[in-house]
Structure 1
Amino acid sequence: MNQFGDHNDQVSMTIDDEKMLLSFDSQVESPSSTYHDSLRSFKKNGMIELEERNKEHDLIKAGFLSGMGQLGKEVEVVAIHKNSCSTILGQARLESFRIYSEAMRKKCGGNANIKYAWFGSSKDEICNIISHGFSTITEPKSGECFGMGVHLYPANIHGVLSALEDENGLRHMLLCRVILGNTEIIEASSKQFQPTCQDFDSGVDNYLAPKTYIIWPSYMNSHILPNFLVLLRKSRRFLQNRILV
C-alpha cells in the first residue's frame, strides 16, 4: 500500500496497487465521442481516457474524493486520463525516469524515496507539460513558495487549489511519480534553485509532515513522471469552504 502524504494529519489519498499505477500498457479507452474538443491535444500525446468501472479509474476517483474530505461533496471528477507513454517522447521519458530511479536507489543505499504527488495548473500549462515536459519555473498558484523549483503536493487538496479553471469550467491536475532522494528543508520565500550540496536531491517544507515537494529545475524532466490527468469541476461552495482545510 502506498499513501499520498506521510502524516495522518494531512488530507491524503491511498493507492492499494502500486504496480497497477506503474503499468503503461493499458488499452482501455472510452469512445471518442466522450472527448471534449479541447482535450484532443491530450489524446495526441498519449493520454487515454479511462472508462468508469475500469479498475484504475475507480481507484483514482474514489481515492481522490476521499482525500478531499468533506469538500469531496463539492467536487465532480469529470474524467481521468492515463499516460500510456505510447509516443516516442513518452517512451523516452519513461525510460529516463527508470534510469534515474535506479541511479537514485544506488546513491541512497537502496531507497530512491519515490512518492506520488499532485500538480495543478492551467489547462495550457498542463497541455505543454504533457506535450513537451516541464519548461518554465513559476511561483505556485496557491500557498507559499519554497524555492525556485516545481512545487508538487502529497495531498490532493493542495493540488486542487493550484489548478486554474478553464473556459469550460474544468480544472486540470496531474498525478505524478516523483523521485525525491535525500530531501532538505527549504524555507518559505527562499530563492534557492538547486541543492545546497551533493548530499541532497530535492526539497520539502517539513521533514515530519511534508505538504510540499520541491523538484529543482535541473531535475524537473527526469525526476517527475506524470501518470494520470484528472479533470474536475468545483462548485462555488468549494472556495467558500476551503478555509476548513
Structure 2
Amino acid sequence: MAANAATQKKLVQSVTVRVPTQTHSSSSSSSASRRSVCSRGSGCCSVRNRIHYPSNFKRSAAPARVMFFQNGSWNDLPDHVIEILRSGFVERKAVVSVEIDGSTFLFDFMRMLQIDSGTGAQRSIAWIDENGKCFFPVAFVCEDLKDGSDSLDSPKRSIDNRVVVPGRVLGKRKTDDVDEDEVTSSIRQRIVDKSSPWPNMKLLKEGEKPYAVGSQVFLSGMRRVDPVAAVTSIHQCVRTGPLDRARYEVFQKQVEMTKVARGVANVVHAWYGASASEIRGILTHGFGGPSKVSGPQSRGVGLYLSHLSAPHLSAGRSEPDDNSEKHAILCRVILGNVEKVEAGSQQCHPSSTEFDTGVDDLRNPKWYVVWSTNMNRHVLPDCVVSYKSSVRVPAQMGRLCSIDALVSRVQKYLTPSKVEELSSLVCDLKASNLLFTS
C-alpha cells in the first residue's frame, strides 16, 4: 500500500499544459474542423450548464491530476483537493463538494465544471487519469469566482500528457488535439448560461405552469394601481447548491417546530420588493437586515412583506434597474401566531412568547412583519418576478417626508381607528403614485 501511495504521488509531476492563442484560418486541420468553436457573437453562451460529458466520467480511471481553466491556461489544483476529488471519483460520485479557503465548491465531473456554491460562478475542469488518458472539455469556460467576470475560449490544446511511473511512461509524448472520444464529439448546445441574472435560479418559460400562475397572481394585484404593468420574466429557485439546500432544510425544520409549538405553522406566500442588487444579495447570502420604514407606516423593526394579493405595496419599495425593470421576490413565510402591530410602533420582537410575527390588520392583513431575529428561518424565497410598471418610485423625497410628517402631526388628534385608516390610505396612494402627480 505504501509503495502504491508513493507511486500515485509521483504521477504526472512532469506534465505541462500549454494553451496557445487560437488563430483562425481557412486551412484548418481535419481534427480542428470536427470541433465546435464557440462564438460570442452567435449567442452561444446561454446554456453552458446543460452540457454533459457522461462518457468521460464512465470511462476514466481515477484522476491523477485535476486542473482548472483560468486566464487562458490550465492550472493544477492543490494536492489535498485532488485527493478529495480522487476519493469521490473512485466512489463514482458525479459531484464532489470541497471546502477551499472557507468557500464551498462543487466539482461536477459529468459537466466538467467547478462551481462556486455561493455565487454560482463556474469554470471548466479537466483531468489526466492514472492511465495517462486526458479528459478535457471542448469549450473552456472561466468565470472569476469572486466578481463573476467571465471569459470563454475553445483553444487548440498542446499537452505533454506523460504520466511518470517508475519503470515506464504512460500516455503519449505530445498531442496537438486530445482524442475526440475523450472529450466529446461536438457541442450541441450553447455554452454560457446568461439567461438568469440571479444566482442559483432558472428562467421559467411563458408556457410553463409555474410561470402562468406566478404572472397571474402578480398582475391581478399589480394592475389595481397600474393597468399596463407587464411581467418581463420569472426566475425560480433551483436549490441545487449545498447552501441553498441547507436554507431549505432550515425552513422545513422551522415549519415542523412551529407546528409543534403552535399547532399550525401558518405558512403563506408574500411579496418582498427590493432593488436588483439587494435581491442578488438575498439570494446569495440571505436577508441582511430589517426593512427601512419610518413614520406612520412603521409597524415595528423587521422584514416587511406584502400580502399575496397586494404586490403593488411591495412595488413601492422596488427600484428600477438599468433596463427600467423592477423586481419582487415571492416568498414562503412562516407566520405562526400573529399579533397586530400598531401604526408608528418601534417594536422589534414579539410582545410575548405567544406570538411569532406581526401584521397590520388581523382580519385583512396587507403587511406581514417578520422580526429580524427570525427572518432567515421564517422566510424562504421561491421565485423572482421581474416587471415593468408606470408606477414610479418617488424621487421627491422631500415631499414624501413632508407627507409623513403631516400624518404624524395630525394622528394625535384622531382616534386609533382613524389613524389606521389614514395610514392605510397613505400607503395605497404612494403605491399608486397618486401622491406625486401635479
Structure 1 spans left out of the alignment, 5+ residues: 1-30
Say if 2:271 is the partner of 1:118: yes
Q: Name the CA distance, whole Å, in 2 between partners of 1:91 and 1:181.
A: 23
The one of 215, 233, 238 equivalent to 1:79 is 233
In the TM superposition, residue 190 of structure 1 has moved relative to its aligned partner by 1.4
Give the corresponding residue for 2:129: none
Q: Name the CA distance, whole Å, in 1 between partners of 2:244 and 2:294.
A: 27
Query: Which whole-Å deviations, capped at 9, do the CAs of 1:215-235 have from their partners, x for residues lacking one?
Result: 001100000000010001112
Give the corresponding residue for 2:289: 136
Letter in 2 for 1:98: Q
In the TM superposition, residue 125 of structure 1 has moved relative to its aligned partner by 0.8
Give the corresponding residue for 1:191: 346
Query: Which whole-Å deviations, capped at 9, do the CAs of 1:20-70 have from their partners, x for residues lacking one?
Result: xxxxxxxxxxx889946xx53x1xx31101011011101111222122244
Structure 2 spans left out of the alignment, 5+ residues: 1-189, 395-428
The one of 313, 316, 320 equivalent to 1:165 is 320
- Please give the secondary structure, in 2, of the residue aligned with 1:231: strand
In the TM superposition, residue 237 of structure 1 has moved relative to its aligned partner by 8.4
The one of 212, 215, 219 equivalent to 1:61 is 215
Say if 2:401 is the partner of 1:211: no
- Please give the secondary structure, in 2, of the residue aligned with 1:53: coil
Letter in 2 for 1:156: P
Contact 1:96 1:222 in 2 (8 A): yes
- Please give the secondary structure, in 2, of the residue aligned with 1:129: helix
In the TM superposition, residue 99 of structure 1 has moved relative to its aligned partner by 0.3
Letter in 2 for 1:226: P
Q: Name the CA distance, whole Å, in 2 between partners of 1:93 and 1:188.
A: 32
Say if 2:304 is the partner of 1:151: yes
- Structure 1 length as normaliser, TM-score? 0.77
Query: Which whole-Å deviations, capped at 9, do the CAs of 1:163-199 have from their partners, x for residues lacking one?
Result: 1111221111000000010111111221111111110
Q: Name the CA distance, whole Å, in 2 between partners of 1:168 and 1:189.
A: 35
Contact 1:141 1:162 in 2 (8 A): no
Check 1:189–1:143 CA distance in 2 against 1; reply closer, same or farther (3 A cut).
Answer: closer
Q: Name the CA distance, whole Å, in 2 between partners of 1:211 and 1:82.
A: 24
Check 1:91–1:236 CA distance in 2 against 1; reply closer, same or farther (3 A cut).
Answer: closer
Q: Name the CA distance, whole Å, in 2 between partners of 1:70 and 1:196.
A: 34
Give the corresponding residue for 1:177: 332
Tell me which moved more, 134-143 or 158-167: 134-143
Q: Name the CA distance, whole Å, in 1 between partners of 2:392 and 2:342.
A: 32
Letter in 2 for 1:242: S
Q: Name the CA distance, whole Å, in 1 between partners of 2:235 and 2:295.
A: 24
Say if 2:255 is the partner of 1:101: yes
Contact 1:118 1:152 in 2 (8 A): yes
Check 1:64–1:134 CA distance in 2 against 1; reply closer, same or farther (3 A cut).
Answer: same
Q: Name the CA distance, whole Å, in 1 between partners of 2:295 and 2:358.
A: 18
Q: How many residues align?
A: 209
Letter in 2 for 1:60: G
Give the superposed CA RMSD: 2.7
Percent identical across equivalent pairs?
34
Contact 1:204 1:210 in 2 (8 A): yes
Q: Name the CA distance, whole Å, in 1 between partners of 2:253 and 2:226.
A: 37
Check 1:32–1:62 CA distance in 2 against 1; reply closer, same or farther (3 A cut).
Answer: farther
Contact 1:49 1:80 in 2 (8 A): yes
Larger Rg: 2
Q: Name the CA distance, whole Å, in 2 between partners of 1:32 and 1:103.
A: 43
Q: Name the CA distance, whole Å, in 2 between partners of 1:55 and 1:86.
A: 21
